[in-house]
Structure 1
Amino acid sequence: MPERIETDLCVIGAGSGGLSVAAGAVQMGARVVLVEGGKMGGDCLNYGCVPSKSLIAASRHAHAMTTGAPFGVAPVVPEVDYAAAKDHVADVIAGIAPHDSQERFEGLGVRVIRAWGRFTSDRELEAGDALIRARRFVIATGSAPLVPPIPGVETVPVETNETIFELRERPEHLLVIGGGPIGMELAQAHLRLGSRVTVLEGDRALGRDDPDLSAIVLDRLRAEGVEIHEGATAAEIRGAAGAIEVVTREGDVHAGTHLLMAVGRKPNIGALNLDAAGIAHDRRGVTVDDGLRSSNRRVYAIGDVAGGLQFTHVAGYHAGIVVRSALFGLPSRAATAHLPWVTYTDPELAQVGLTEAEARARHGAALEVVGADYAENDRARAERLTRGRVKVMVVKGRPVGASIAGAQAGELIQIWALAIANGLKMKAVADMVAPYPTLGEVNKRAASAYFSPKLFDNAWVKRIVRLVQRF
């Protein structure tokens, strides 16, 4: 007979969003059961953000050894130990893992069941030898890499972000299908660690971002040696391990030793038996309203599986929405306008709110676009990081979007995320006093650019100044 468990909240999935919900809820007095059939910490810790940024850090050190000439430091060819770089990745994961561990959450008072969950009714979930009946459920099962049915794909070894970090021997020539953030980050990292890299993208590389700013990133990657082919749709894959060929729809053939698939992700919902619980879903994931509730009002979905933006920090944001709603019964709605994202190439590419194209389509003539170049920033000059730009979309004095390409773009985008989240005006950023010399001054310069024409090209301002000077 299965063990029957009665609880207030059952969280399915121990990734970033699920862990946040479980930790918050149990510490506020709720009875919580956490169900996870895979690794604690989910994709972000084990296959995504943490390992990829760790590998990028290793590759940055290798690259720095080749680029010191402008600073008077003789470049040298680095001796890269690819296996040791992967040891670094594993060490970082191991250092973070205790925070996400079963032991920690059990210490908080969460009942952790290490099994895959499957709904048996609108209020019950089966997991291993347990049958869980809960007042509320939170589906936080995340997503998995998509491997499309390209003819021949089953005949060769295919790496995804879930397997590539396990490689111990450096790929001689890495073929990457997909020119989005995952593909471009891992392409540059492997190039800097000594691999030859070819990226095939069926549309435009980094296509979700502002094309003017993504061009800055792509130009840099091409200059370093990454071969990027846009408008190149993979039509056939052939060969064998160590000798793989990708044939494009246009008839071009690209040969390499390893193949990385980075064309997107699919929601982890196949094993949940959602229909038994009356939970509507489609290929994007669980269908939710703006309060993240599914068609079964007892069930919420957060993070990647909710069908929206697929980022760890979005899952964490969703967790807060659900905790307020499920535990306190407070109306709480998820928004997207203030959610930033970053591609961690070098230079970085960051976005919050609307891109210029989106803002023009929505606001028309009311839109003003201002910006500032890194080349105008003294710290960027000192660091020789002058290739970059901040672009801000403004409507009636308030930013509605910001795009940044350049060094530390992920850090610099945060002030615009703060401004948009709190409805601040451009004056709030312009009035900020930034320490000199910092890259952060480029944000202040962009904000000041909004006011400059109004001050310096305004005939009434000049008349007032001349009048005052008479006294």
Structure 2
Amino acid sequence: MKTLKTDLLVIGAGSGGLSVAAGASQMGANVTLLEGHKMGGDCLNYGCVPSKALIASAKTAYAMGHAAPYGVADTLPQVDYAAAKDHVADVIATIEPVDSQERFEGLGVRVIREFGEFISETEVQAGDTRITARRIVIATGSSPFVPPIQGLADVPYLTNESLWELRERPEHLLVIGGGPIGMEMAQAHRRLGSKVTVIEGAKALGKDDPEMAAVVLDALREEGVEIVEEAQATSISGTEGAITVETGKGSFTGSHVLVAVGRRANMDRLNLKAAGIETTRTGIKVDDSLKTTNKRVYAIGDVAGGLQFTHVAGYHAGIVIRSALFGLPAKAQTKHVPWATYTQPELAQVGLTEAQARETHGDKLEIARFEFSHNDRAIAERKTRGLIKVMVVKGRPVGVSIAGHQAGELINLWSLAIANNLKMSQVSAMVSPYPTIGEVNKRAAGAYFTPRLFENDTVKKVVRLVQRWLP
């Protein structure tokens, strides 16, 4: 049995764990990193990276078949699904060295390729090594949640992990779950030539503003994606190539089933009870500083049971480094954390939705809107579907919803504004190059001031008065 002592032990080499390990080691801490599976975690190997790569393939295929509006002849794309998966693998391989064991060892991190299990409040067992740490960060992420649907265990099904092993294009893909993962993969596979049916027990894209979600769902339906809402899957039967999903709205048969109903925190291997760490229904219980009920141990990213996004894990890493390395007070917030769904058009949100803002702020709420159809760059590129909606209270944005071209890029500005408590006047003061999609943000800010400047009788009276006195 080997033993070692370390300043900081990081369990999990996904996005959050790698950020903590790299930052802490380069700042002088003695860091040990445990990973029993793949370096880079879900994001690199099964999530953000491969899904966006496949979406890029699908976007290219769609563009070839819809080029006529630009003066280019439509061409029926010859999709090689296996080659598209090769593209996905190549993208992963290109990014992989940044997350590799070799790179982190080069940064001074001790990397142990084993799963970790608590044996006391300060000790973790990893293979044949017992590690004592001053501070411990749990960054084990999450895995696909497989619901207890009758018969599901008896049929071949896909998750976001096993999907990437598939080399033959599904003839008819049934997607159980209408959240971001389900909708992204539904559109991608439809564009790559599959018939696609999405089966959602409640509302598709139900966590987003309904008006914005409708923009995306209408676009997907126009492309031929069948979206069945309020259809809870009750049982599944069949064999490979012919699988039937029974719902309250009838039965649906397809060649493949993708289960995309959510994710569950990876906690089973950790033996958290030995460390005095409590859990909740969604993950490990943490306070605002991301400390667990064992104050020497932090939990970050998906396993902390909050927003499940790669960028949240990275944000959490910064909070932990400030606290664990420097002993400084640091608290995680969510008001400025954006998220995006990478369908086409894209869907993005930061802060409060309209419904949440109305409930929180009542009559104090004002809403500024701007349609993509009035943006010259969007018109030039024929990407005019969508709008931006800014929720404003006392001159400051408290939430922004965007559905449209490059919504995931546009939301960055509003995260900055909310994080720094900026006023709408400061956003309006920004100058955007013309013509850009980014002008949508400035025009939304301008829409907030329009009634104050152009529909205000007092302003008009002042202007007329000034004009009388000007030489």
TM-score (norm 1): 0.99
Matches within 5 A, 1:91-240: 91-240=90-239
Partner residue, 1:396: 394
Q: Does 1:359 align with 2:357?
A: yes
Give 1:283 deviation, angstroms: 2.8
CA distance in 1, matches of 2:275, 2:374: 58
Partner residue, 2:455: 457
Give secondary structure in 2 for the equivalent of 1:286. Answer: coil
Give 1:69 deviation, angstroms: 1.2
1:208-245 alpha-carbon deviations (Å, 9 max, x no partner)? 10100110000000000000000010000000111100
What do you get for the CA RMSD once the two structures are aligned? 0.6
Q: Which amino acid aligns with 2:6?
A: T
Give secondary structure in 2 for the equivalent of 1:282. Answer: coil
Matches within 5 A, 1:61-76: 61-76=60-75
Matches within 5 A, 1:79-98: 79-98=78-97
Give 1:186 deviation, angstroms: 0.3
Give secondary structure in 2 for the equivalent of 1:469. Answer: helix
Partner residue, 2:272: 274
Give 1:458 deviation, angstroms: 1.2
8 A contact 1:55–1:89 mirrored in 2: yes
CA distance in 2, matches of 1:294, 1:371: 41
Partner residue, 1:440: 438
1:400-454 alpha-carbon deviations (Å, 9 max, x no partner)? 0000000000011111111000000000111111111111111111101111101
CA distance in 1, matches of 2:466, 2:339: 47
CA distance in 2, matches of 1:457, 1:154: 63
Give secondary structure in 2 for the equivalent of 1:209. Answer: coil
CA distance in 1, matches of 2:373, 2:321: 45
Give 1:9 deviation, angstroms: 0.5
TM-score (norm 2): 0.99
Matches within 5 A, 1:251-262: 252-262=250-260
**Selected match of 1:379 from 377, 380, 394:** 377
8 A contact 1:86–1:165 mirrored in 2: yes
CA distance in 2, matches of 1:39, 1:265: 18
Give secondary structure in 1 for the equivalent of 2:392. Answer: strand
Give secondary structure in 2 for the equivalent of 1:296. Answer: coil
Which 4+ runs in 1 deviate beyond 3 A? none
Number of aligned positions between the proteins = 469
Partner residue, 1:327: 325
Structure 1: which 5+ runs fail to align? none
Q: Percent identity?
A: 69
Q: Which amino acid aligns with 2:429?
A: D
8 A contact 1:380–1:439 mirrored in 2: yes
Give 1:460 deviation, angstroms: 1.1
Give secondary structure in 2 for the equivalent of 1:175. Answer: strand
CA distance in 1, matches of 2:431, 2:98: 37
Give secondary structure in 2 for the equivalent of 1:401. Answer: strand
CA distance in 1, matches of 2:173, 2:338: 30
Q: Does 1:344 align with 2:324?
A: no
Q: Which amino acid aligns with 1:51?
A: P
Give 1:268 deviation, angstroms: 0.2
CA distance in 2, matches of 1:282, 1:465: 60
Give 1:338 deviation, angstroms: 0.1
Partner residue, 1:428: 426
Q: Which amino acid aligns with 1:223?
A: E
Partner residue, 2:413: 415
8 A contact 1:267–1:283 mirrored in 2: no
CA distance in 2, matches of 1:469, 1:23: 62
Give 1:76 deviation, angstroms: 1.3
CA distance in 1, matches of 2:374, 2:280: 48
CA distance in 1, matches of 2:252, 2:23: 49
Give secondary structure in 1 for the equivalent of 2:169. Answer: coil
8 A contact 1:266–1:283 mirrored in 2: no
8 A contact 1:351–1:413 mirrored in 2: yes
Give secondary structure in 2 for the equivalent of 1:78. Answer: coil
Q: Which shows bigger deviation, 48-57 or 280-289? A: 280-289
1:12-31 alpha-carbon deviations (Å, 9 max, x no partner)? 00000000000000111111
Give secondary structure in 1 for the equivalent of 2:269. Answer: coil
Q: Does 1:45 align with 2:30?
A: no
CA distance in 2, matches of 1:170, 1:451: 51
Give 1:71 deviation, angstroms: 1.2
8 A contact 1:191–1:197 mirrored in 2: yes
Give 1:163 deviation, angstroms: 0.6
1:147-171 alpha-carbon deviations (Å, 9 max, x no partner)? 0110000111110000101110000
